[in-house]
Amino acid sequence: MPAPIRLRELIRTIRTARTQAEEREMIQKECAAIRSSFREEDNTYRCRNVAKLLYMHMLGYPAHFGQLECLKLIASQKFTDKRIGYLGAMLLLDERQDVHLLMTNCIKNDLNHSTQYVQGLALCTLGCMGSSEMCRDLAGEVEKLLKTSNSYLRKKAALCAVHVIRKVPELMEMFLPATKNLLNEKNHGVLHTSVVLLTEMCERSPDMLAHFRKLVPQLVRILKNLIMSGYSPEHDVSGISDPFLQVRILRLLRILGRNDDDSSEAMNDILAQVATNTETSKNVGNAILYETVLTIMDIKSESGLRVLAINILGRFLLNNDKNIRYVALTSLLKTVQTDHNAVQRHRSTIVDCLKDLDVSIKRRAMELSFALVNGNNIRGMMKELLYFLDSCEPEFKADCASGIFLAAEKYAPSKRWHIDTIMRVLTTAGSYVRDDAVPNLIQLITNSVEMHAYTVQRLYKAILGDYSQQPLVQVAAWCIGEYGDLLVSGQCEEEEPIQVTEDEVLDILESVLISNMSTSVTRGYALTAIMKLSTRFTCTVNRIKKVVSIYGSSIDVELQQRAVEYNALFKKYDHMRSALLERMPVMEKVTTNGPTEIVQTNGETEPAPLETKPPPSGPQPTSQANDLLDLLGGNDITPVIPTAPTSKPASAGGELLDLLGDINLTGAPAAPPAPASVPQTSQPPFLLDGLSSQPLFNDITTGIPSITAYSKNGLKIEFTFERSNTNPSVTVITIQASNSTELDMTDFVFQAAVPKTFQLQLLSPSSSIVPAFNTGTITQVIKVLNPQKQQLRMRIKLTYNHKGSAMQDLAEELWEGGCDRWQVPPNCTMGLRS
Amino acid sequence: MIKFFLMVNKQGQTRLSKYYEHVEISKRTLLETEVIKSCLSRSNEQCSFIEFKDFKLIYRQYAALFIVVGVNDTENEMAIYEFIHNFVEVLDEYFSRVVNNV
How many angstroms separate the CA of residue B48 from the nearest CA in chain A?
A: 6
Kindly state whether B76 is in contact with chain A, defined as any CB-CB distance less than 8 angstroms: yes
Q: Which of A192, A356, A358, A363 is the best residue to mutate to test the B interface, defined by the most B CB atoms within 10 Å of its own CB?
A: A358
CA distance A783 to A792: 12
Which pLDDT does position B14 carry in this prediction? 86
Please count the residues of chain A: 834
Q: Are B52 and A359 in contact (CB under 8 A)?
A: no
Rounded CA Rg of chain A: 40
The whole-angstrom separation of Cα A540 and Cα B44 is 62
With contacts defined as CB-CB under 8 Å, which chain B residues touch A322? 45-48
Segments making up each domain of chain A, as ranges: 435-581, 705-814
In order of A786, B17, B35, B64, the CA distances from B29 in angstroms are 74, 10, 10, 19
* Rounded average pLDDT per 10-residue block, chain B, 102 residues: 90 87 84 88 80 87 90 89 91 75 48
The shortest C-alpha distance from B14 to chain A (Å) reads 6
Cα(A487)–Cα(A502) distance, integer angstroms: 9
Q: Output the pLDDT for position A666.
A: 38
- Regarding pTM above 0.80, the answer is no
Kindly give the residue spans of alpha helices, DSSP state H, lying in A633-685. Answer: 654-661
Cα A762 to Cα A556: distance, rounded to the nearest angstrom:
42
Q: Where are the beta strands (DSSP E) in A688-789?
A: 707-712, 715-723, 730-739, 745-755, 759-762, 777-785
Determine the 3-state secondary structure of A759 from DSSP. strand
CA–CA dist A370, A402 (Å, integer): 10
User: Shortest CA distance to B49 belongs to which of B75, B23, B11, B15?
Assistant: B75
CATH 2.60.40.1230 for the A705-814 domain, yes or no = yes
Which residues partner with A799 through β-bridges? A749, A808
Backbone φ and ψ of A277, nearest 5°: -90, -15
CA dihedral A754, A756, A761, A767 (to 10 degrees): 30
CA distance B94 to chain A (A): 16
CB proximity A357 to B under 8 Å = yes
Residue A618's pLDDT is 36
Contact B45 A357 (CB under 8 A): yes
Residues sharing a CB contact under 8 Å with residue A532, sequence separation 6 or more, in sequence order: A481, A482, A484, A581
Q: What are the φ and ψ backbone dihedral angles of A767, each rounded to 5 degrees? A: -165, 180
A114-121: long-range pairs with CB below 8 Å, 24+? A115/A79, A116/A150, A116/A152, A116/A153, A117/A79, A118/A79, A118/A82, A119/A145, A119/A153, A119/A156, A120/A152, A120/A153, A120/A156, A121/A82, A121/A83, A121/A86
Indicate which of B17, B47, B80, B95 best probes the interface with A, i.e. most A CBs within 10 Å of its own CB. B47
For chain B, domains (ranges, CATH) are 2-95 (3.30.450.60)
Task: Give the pLDDT score at A627.
Answer: 46
A246 shares contact with chain B (CB less than 8 Å): no
Which tens digits make up the pLDDT trace of A737-746? 888 887 778 8
- The CA distance from B56 to B50, in Å, is 6
ipTM for the whole complex: 0.91
Polymer length of chain B: 102
* A606: DSSP letter: -
Cα–Cα distance list, A420 to A413, A455, A482, A564, B76 (Å) = 12, 8, 19, 37, 44
pLDDT at residue A658, rounded to an integer: 41
Q: List, for chain A, all residue ranges whose pLDDT scores fall below the cut of 50.
A: 591-702, 816-834
Beta strand A637-638 with A745-755: parallel, antiparallel or unpaired?
antiparallel
Is residue A796 a contact partner of residue A807, using CB atoms and an 8 Å limit? no
- Which residues on neighbouring strands pair with residue A717, listed in sequence order? A710, A737
